[in-house]
Structure 1
Amino acid sequence: MRVALVAEQFLPHMNGVTHSVLRVLEHLRARGHDAEVIAPSYGPAGSAPADLDGVPVHRLPALPLTGYPDVRVAGGTVARVRRLLERIGPDVVHAASPFVLGRRAVVAADQLGLPCVAVYQTDVPGYAAKYGAPFLEQLLWSRVRSMHELATLTLAPSTASVRQLAEHGVPDVRLWRRGVDAVRFAPAHRDERWRREVGGGRRLVGYVGRIAPEKQVEDLAAVADLPGTRLVVVGSGPEEEALRRRLPGAHFTGFLGGAQLARVMASLDVFVHPGEFETFCQTVQEAMASGVPVVATGRGGPVDLVDSSRTGWLYPPGDLGALRDRVADLTGDEAKRAAFGAAARAAVRGRTWEALGDELLGHYRDAAALRATGPRPAPPRTA
C-alpha cells in the first residue's frame, strides 16, 4: 500500500497530531508499506529535511498562527495539493486532524477519486469560546461537516467524539483510538531523587500538556495549595507566563519529551487534566501507563480512559471543588493511590501502537473498497 499522510502540523513542532503521524509512519514502514508526508514548512525554503528516515516530506509555505508561533498554517491551493498527490500516486490519503491544509487534501483526493481517511483529532469549534469567539462555533462546525462529508471515512478517537460528529451531521464515522508505549511510559522510570528535589517529601500533583486557554490550565489553581503537595506543570504555550504568575509555588519544567517526559510522568503521584475539549487526551493514557492515577473532567476523551473509582476520578465539568476533593482523596490515601495506579497501568498496557496501526490499515482497506463502489449520495443537512 502507498499512503499519502497530510499533516496539519508536523516536525519540528511536537503535539498530539505530530506524535500520532510519527507512530503511523513507523507502523507503515514496519508492515512494508510506503508513505510520503505533506506538511507545513517551519522556516525558509530548504531549511527542513526533505525526508524523515527515508520517508519523503513535502513542505508547503506556511505562516505562524497568531499567539502560537510554533503552530503553522500552510498556504497553497487545492490545485497545488492535487498536483502533489498526483505525483505521489497514493492508494489512500490520510488527512491528520484536517482543517486548513488537510481540508485542501480532502477536496483534492475527492477530485482525483482517491479514497481518503480523515482523522478527527482537534475540537476546533469548541476552542472558539475559549479564544473569545463563541459566535464562530456553528460556522466552524459547518466547515468541519462539509470537509468530512467529502472524506471516504472519518476516524474519531473516543466515543464522545464519534457521538459529537454524528450529532453535527458527519457521515461514516468510526472509532479509532490511540496507542501508548507502555515500555517508555512505565512505573519503573520513577525517579526518587528528582521527587525529593522538586517535592521535598510532598506528594506531586502534575499536569502535562499545552499551557493554553483550551486546556483550562487556570483550573489548576484549585489544587495548587493542597496541604502536603506540590503542583508540577510540564509544557509550554501562550498562557505559560500568566500561569507562572498565578501559581508561584508550582514547579514548571517547560516542554519535555522522550525519556525526560517519561521519567517525570512516572514520578508523579496524581495526574490532573482539567480540559473539557479533549477528543482523546493522550497524556492521560501515558500517565496511566506510568502507573499514575488520573483526575480528569468528565467530558470528552477522558470519559473513555478513566474508570472512575478504579483507575482515577472523573469530576463534573466546571466543578473545581470536586476537582480539589478528588485530588485530595488520592494524595491523602497511599493504599488507594497505589491500587488506582496499578489498575490504571493494567487498563492501558495492551493498547499498543502496533495493534492500533493494524486497525488503521483495516480502515484504509475499507476506504479503498468503499471508494471503488463509487460516490455516495450526500447526507441530509442537520442543524
Structure 2
Amino acid sequence: MRILFVSNLYPPNSVGGYEKLAFSVASELSRRGHEICVLTSDHGDAIADYPGQRVFRELTLLTGETIYEPFAGDEEASARLRERNDNRLRDTVAREKPDLVFSWNLFFLHPSMLATLESLPVPVAVMLTDNWLINMVKPQWWQSYFAAEVMGGGSAAPPRGSSPSFVSRVRARLRNIRAKEAHPRANAAGPARRSLTAIFGSHYMHDLHRQAGLTFAREETIHNGVKSLGTPTHSGPDRGLLVDPEGSVRLLFAGRLVDLKGAHRAVEALGILRRTRPDLPPITLTILGDQQDRSYERTLAAAVEASGCSEQITMRPPVRENELRAVFAEHDIYLFPSLYEPFSLTLIHALGEGIPTIASDAGGNGEIVVHGRTGLTYPRGDSQALADRIATLVEDSALRARLGAAGRVAAARFTFTTMVDSMERLLEDMR
C-alpha cells in the first residue's frame, strides 16, 4: 500500500506520545513493505530523515512559538494559513497518489482540514487517540464535558493549587475554534456522521465520541500498544522488597508536566502523608517530565512549596523510552494521577516492568489497571484518596509483590505488534 500519514506533529519534534506512536507505526508499516509518506507541520527546529519515509514538513500550526502559546495573528492571517494548509494536503495527495490517508492528531489546525480530508478522492482513516476531532466539530460539547467530567463540579474551575491560565487557554482555544467554524469550509462536512474510518485507541475514546454525537462510516477500537522493553523471562526486582536497603520508599511520577497529568496531585498526596502519617517510613517522590508549559511549572512549584516536602522531591528531565526500565527499577511505586487520560502508553510500560502502580480512574486508565488485581485506582483529583492508596502499598509488601506480578501479565495484552497487525488488516480492507 501507498499510505500518506497526516499529523500536526512528527518526530523529531515531539511533545506527547501520539506523534511518537505515529512514527513507530509508520516505521513498522514501512518495514513490512508499504510505501510511507508523511505530511506534518514545520513546528519545531529539528529535522530528520527516516529510512523508508518521505516526510513533508509543510503545514503551519495555529499556535505561538510553542503549542502552549496562542496564535498571535489576526483572522486574516489565520484564514491565509488554513487555506494554505488545506491546499498542501490536496497537493500532496495529488502528487503522491496514496492508496489511502491515515490521519493522526490534527489539533492546532483549523476545522477546515477535516472537511478537506473528507473531500479527498481516496479512503481516509482517522486515529482517535485524543479529543482533537471533537474539538474541531463539537467545541461547545467538549467545553461542557471538560468542565463537568474532567475538572469536576460542573464548572471549569482549575484544580486546587493550580494556575487558572490552563483553563483560560482551553476556553480561548474553544472560542477561536467556534469563531473559525463560521468559515464555509469548516461546515462543509455536513452532519455528525463522518464519512471516515475511525480507529479508537481505547473503548473510552469510542464512548466519548458517541457521547458527543459523532459516528463514522466504519469504527474499530484498537488498543494502543508498546514495544516490549524486556524479554519474556525478564522478572525485574522483587517488588515485595524496597529498592532502598535503608527502608525509604521511592515514589515516581513520569509524564508530561501539564495540569491534566496531575503531578501536583502526587505532591499534595505526599504532603498529606507527611502531616498525617508520621508512622510511615521516609518517602521520596521523583517527578520526571518536560517543563515546556511555563504556567504549569509555576503551579507545580507552588504545590511543592505548600506541601512542605521540597526536600523529599526530586525533579528530573524526561528519558527515552528504552531508558524507562532503569527508571522504574529505581523506584518502588509508580503514580499516575491524571485528570483526563485517553489511553496511556507510559502506564502500560509501568505495568510491564512490574512496578506497583496507583492510577486515577480517569478515561482509559481502567482498561489497563484493574483495582486490587493489577494495580490500585482512586477517584481522579482526590489527593486524600491517592495518599491513602500510597499508604496501603507502603505498608503491604505482599500486595506490592502481587500487583507487580499481575501487572506484567496485564501489560502483555497491549503489544505494539498486535496493534500494528490490527491496523494493517483494517487499512488493507479499506482499499
TM-score range, shorter chain: 0.7 to 0.9
Post-superposition Cα deviations, 1:158-191, rounded to whole Å, max 9, x if no partner, equal 2221111011111133211111122359966769
Bigger Rg, which one: 2
In the other structure, the counterpart of 1:54 is 52
Post-superposition Cα deviations, 1:214-255, rounded to whole Å, max 9, x if no partner, equal 223221123324442211111013123542453223111112
What displacement does 1:110 show? 2.4
Give matches, 1:164-243, under 5 Å: 164-172=208-216, 173-184=219-230, 196=244, 201-225=247-271, 226=273, 227=280, 228-237=282-291, 238=293, 239-243=296-300
Match of 1:99 among 107, 119, 134: 107
- Residue aligned with 1:93, SS: strand
Gapped runs of 5+ residues in structure 2?
72-80, 133-141, 148-155, 159-165, 274-279, 305-309
- Residue aligned with 2:215, SS: coil
In the other structure, the counterpart of 1:345 is 408
- Residue aligned with 2:208, SS: helix
Higher mean C-alpha displacement, 292-301 vs 126-135 = 126-135
Match of 1:132 among 156, 167, 172: 167
Match of 2:88 among 80, 88, 93: 80
Q: How far apart, in 1, do the equivalents of 2:70 and 2:30 lie?
A: 27
Higher mean C-alpha displacement, 202-211 vs 312-321 = 312-321
Post-superposition Cα deviations, 1:50-105, rounded to whole Å, max 9, x if no partner, equal x3123100002536845845899886331221101111211111111223449555
What displacement does 1:41 show? 1.4
In the other structure, the counterpart of 1:28 is 29
Q: How far apart, in 2, do the equivalents of 1:262 and 1:240 lie?
A: 26
In the other structure, the counterpart of 1:375 is none
What TM-score, normalized by structure 1, do the two folds share? 0.82
Q: Is the 8 A contact 2:201 2:222 kept in 1?
A: yes
In the other structure, the counterpart of 1:246 is 303
- Residue aligned with 1:112, SS: coil
Question: Structure 1 residues 348 and 72, CA, compared in 2 at 3 Å: closer, same or farther?
Answer: farther
What displacement does 1:285 show? 0.8
Q: How far apart, in 2, do the equivalents of 1:70 and 1:23 lie?
A: 25
Match of 1:307 among 367, 370, 386: 370
Percent sequence identity is 23
Question: Structure 1 residues 86 and 42, CA, compared in 2 at 3 Å: closer, same or farther?
Answer: same
Question: Structure 1 residues 99 and 150, CA, compared in 2 at 3 Å: closer, same or farther?
Answer: farther
Q: Is the 8 A contact 2:11 2:19 kept in 1?
A: yes
Q: How far apart, in 1, do the equivalents of 2:104 and 2:191 lie?
A: 13
- Residue aligned with 1:86, SS: helix
- Residue aligned with 1:39, SS: strand
Q: Is the 8 A contact 2:268 2:303 kept in 1?
A: no
What displacement does 1:350 show? 3.6
Alignment pair present for 1:320 and 2:379: no
- Residue aligned with 2:119, SS: helix
Higher mean C-alpha displacement, 72-81 vs 253-262 = 72-81
- Residue aligned with 1:22, SS: helix
Q: How far apart, in 2, do the equivalents of 1:351 and 1:106 lie?
A: 29
Question: Structure 1 residues 189 and 339, CA, compared in 2 at 3 Å: closer, same or farther?
Answer: closer
Q: Is the 8 A contact 1:298 1:315 kept in 2?
A: yes
Match of 1:158 among 189, 193, 202: 202
Indicate the RMSD between aligned Cα atoms, in angstroms: 3.4
- Residue aligned with 1:231, SS: strand
Q: How far apart, in 2, do the equivalents of 1:284 and 1:328 lie?
A: 20
Q: Is the 8 A contact 1:222 1:323 kept in 2?
A: no
Alignment pair present for 1:358 and 2:402: no
- Residue aligned with 2:363, SS: coil
Q: How far apart, in 2, do the equivalents of 1:200 and 1:253 lie?
A: 23
In the other structure, the counterpart of 1:112 is 120
Gapped runs of 5+ residues in structure 1?
369-383
Matching residue's letter, 1:175? T
Q: Is the 8 A contact 2:360 2:377 kept in 1?
A: yes
Q: How far apart, in 2, do the equivalents of 1:21 and 1:210 lie?
A: 18
Q: How far apart, in 2, do the equivalents of 1:21 and 1:72 lie?
A: 25
Matching residue's letter, 1:59? R
